[in-house]
Structure 1
């Protein structure tokens, strides 16, 4: 099976980094991306600026591959927007990988060739079922599969029990599950003068609070928290090792203290009843025009159903990784760097990487993903020493963890180290020591 490709699902930051790592080791990566360009999810928050500078947003093997093309690396100390990250790094990286990246190719299933539950699975290669934009389906035989498809397409619902609240689907035209781009005139007009409810307690929610506060007093803003109090929701402030993230918490706190944002705690939404939201303990928020739901994301595991995955039943992350990323225990900085040992499954040569590997935990960092795929590529190449070696040191931020975080994990594109500044969202990565 040595001549078979290593299929990577998703042409985002971690998927492309995986392809670069595999190619550097002389393997044959094939990136399958259902969109028509690299960084399609990043493009959906093109207007936002990351917390982390360029020095922390470029994968090591990717940088080496790009350098051979004459690519000009952005200044390390600059903070890009989502559009700049895609345009100046992700798209050039996809171009450098050339025909090893295939667009308009949606992975709809992965299995063992000719095997279901019968014996002999481990002797057969993997088959990747792919649907093209025109509906045509093909199968690709693969030596290994790295799923770096992320969780951006599967936001958590408003309902407090993890399922949509009663009436939530019917009210879909008044509910957004992303931080709206208030720099767009049409979007801004939609919310101006309305009663806007923001649900969630992570950095995406703080981003939305600060952004919408700029529409006050004509726009009324209510912040719903499932937790019993605001507690540590504003983060570490000046103590945060990502200064833009700390500043965001301080700005959100100032908006609340100034009375531009009303806070309702202990609210777990059970029902959307017309323009009213009802909680499971009898609370009611009335006269709601728009709801912005920022309660985190979850992985889409439906097309992996034929694989033998070992996932934590709560976090939906690999069982060896789950205790290391439990958001009720860990912050962004206390999640230890990890690799193939923590990411392995009973199904050989199958790995979830990037945000997908974190399941429903909101503590993922971009540089952590780069370390994951470095280790995975080494393992696939048979270099166990390199696969088990840790090549990344993360800082201790101590501002994202604590009891109740998983209760109301309203994070953005990348996890607990998400949005900064009023209109900013981020896939932030840690600062190196």
Structure 2
């Protein structure tokens, strides 16, 4: 088993950092990436600036691997997603060389000779990872351990208020009227003089609103509607100047200014039930019977959820609400957690007791919880690499120092009828009942 590689799923920031830590520990990582290069999902928001400054976006082990190549760590500033890729993730992937394999999609993870039901000898059986390569050929890889850092970006939540796609939503997506990614500057410019509806209350939604408001300022015929599920505006705009992450605070301030200036119309308590598409225009209808004016584009930014389909043969220990590891979930559940740092956590909290050697890390480890920071993931993979290398003491000596508001949603309970009563980003945590 020790001669087998550790398969890491995903060549994003946490996946590549995991590989760097494993190499330092004498393990052999094999990073499998569906896309054609590192940070494939980051590239989809390449124009968006990060909340975290450069020093918090570079993993320590990754920096040590990059140092002999002549790479110099950026010392300050807040990069865009594209800059994060070109100035850090790409050089790191190049330094990792043959340990990273692109255009390889993982379709299943199991134990050799064991389905989900068979228990005898399970702990000692190596992992079997089913993949499809760039040529469409199926094959299997054998691994001593599996670290899933595939993220959640490819699993956006739907517009439907009940967690399922609204009636007609898939039709709208197929017609290109409904999209689930923040619009780029190019797309926002092409949407001038049209009606755009943004659904969602998080940071991605605020980013979209700000971009579209800039177009509306230049082209007054452009109409922007911002539909929130929550019953009141409450703390939608976050902590502003008091946010420990200045870039995030500035985002909320700018979104608030766009609404105050009349560039954006905010609709509260709008829980989407149906999307009717006629002649490439879409009308959103709420559960209470309200309907928005027909829109040329609907941007759905309601968060993400983990793809657990390829782990269906694994015995995962997940929280039934968040779909996050059971030991981690209480600290990040927005139903009971408000402001404050995520408590230090690593291999112990991320483990699945019936599947030793399997870890879900990064944004995917948060399940459906919001607001994950790179620092959290880097400490996770450091701990996991130590655990896999047998250094259990180092794995449990977890240190994690985050900005004070580093885990809260910034929007309280986004689906609550009146989120202003739910504690919010900087109020006391609501009482669990």
Partner secondary structure for residue 121 of structure 1: coil
Distance (Å, rounded) in 1 between the aligned partners of 2:416 and 2:232: 12
Distance (Å, rounded) in 1 between the aligned partners of 2:229 and 2:323: 21
Is the counterpart of residue 266 in structure 1 residue 269 in structure 2? yes
Q: What does residue 252 of structure 1 align with?
A: 255
Is the counterpart of residue 322 in structure 1 residue 329 in structure 2? yes
Deviations 1:53-94 (CA, angstroms, capped at 9, x unpaired)? 1111000110111112221212x2122111111111111111
Partner secondary structure for residue 139 of structure 1: strand
Q: What does residue 370 of structure 1 align with?
A: 378
Partner secondary structure for residue 35 of structure 1: coil
- Check the 8 A contact 1:198/1:294 in 2, yes or no: yes
Q: What does residue 348 of structure 2 align with?
A: 341
Partner secondary structure for residue 391 of structure 1: coil
Is the counterpart of residue 391 in structure 1 residue 399 in structure 2? yes
Is the counterpart of residue 13 in structure 1 residue 22 in structure 2? no
Q: What does residue 114 of structure 2 align with?
A: 115
Distance (Å, rounded) in 2 between the aligned partners of 1:193 and 1:281: 29
RMSD: 1.7
Work out the number of aligned pairs and report it: 406
Give 1:275-354 correspondences, 5 Å limit. Answer: 275-331=282-338, 333-345=340-352, 346-354=354-362
Deviates more, 1:169-178 or 1:12-21: 169-178
Distance (Å, rounded) in 1 between the aligned partners of 2:109 and 2:12: 20
Distance (Å, rounded) in 2 between the aligned partners of 1:287 and 1:124: 56
Is the counterpart of residue 57 in structure 1 residue 63 in structure 2? no
Following superposition, the deviation at residue 403 of structure 1 comes to 4.3
Distance (Å, rounded) in 1 between the aligned partners of 2:72 and 2:346: 30
Deviations 1:256-286 (CA, angstroms, capped at 9, x unpaired)? 1121111111111000123321111111112
Partner secondary structure for residue 69 of structure 2: coil
Structure 2: runs of 5+ lacking an equivalent: 418-423, 426-433
Q: What does residue 205 of structure 1 align with?
A: 205
Return structure 1 stretches of 4+ with deviation > 6 angstroms. none
- Check the 8 A contact 1:336/1:394 in 2, yes or no: no
Following superposition, the deviation at residue 373 of structure 1 comes to 0.4
Q: What does residue 104 of structure 1 align with?
A: 103
Deviations 1:187-206 (CA, angstroms, capped at 9, x unpaired)? 23541111111111111111
Is the counterpart of residue 142 in structure 1 residue 143 in structure 2? yes
Following superposition, the deviation at residue 359 of structure 1 comes to 0.7
- Check the 8 A contact 1:158/1:164 in 2, yes or no: yes
Sort the Cα spacing of 1:25 and 1:91 in 2 relative to 1 into closer, same or farther, 3 A.
same
Following superposition, the deviation at residue 51 of structure 1 comes to 2.0
Q: What does residue 84 of structure 2 align with?
A: 85
Deviations 1:287-316 (CA, angstroms, capped at 9, x unpaired)? 222111010011111000010001111111
Give the TM-score normalised by structure 1: 0.90
Following superposition, the deviation at residue 401 of structure 1 comes to 5.0
Distance (Å, rounded) in 2 between the aligned partners of 1:136 and 1:331: 47
Partner secondary structure for residue 272 of structure 1: strand
Partner secondary structure for residue 196 of structure 1: strand
- Check the 8 A contact 1:330/1:402 in 2, yes or no: no
Distance (Å, rounded) in 1 between the aligned partners of 2:153 and 2:338: 21
Give 1:125-274 correspondences, 5 Å limit. Answer: 125-172=126-173, 173-182=176-185, 184=186, 187-216=187-216, 217-274=220-277
Structure 1: runs of 5+ lacking an equivalent: 409-415, 418-433
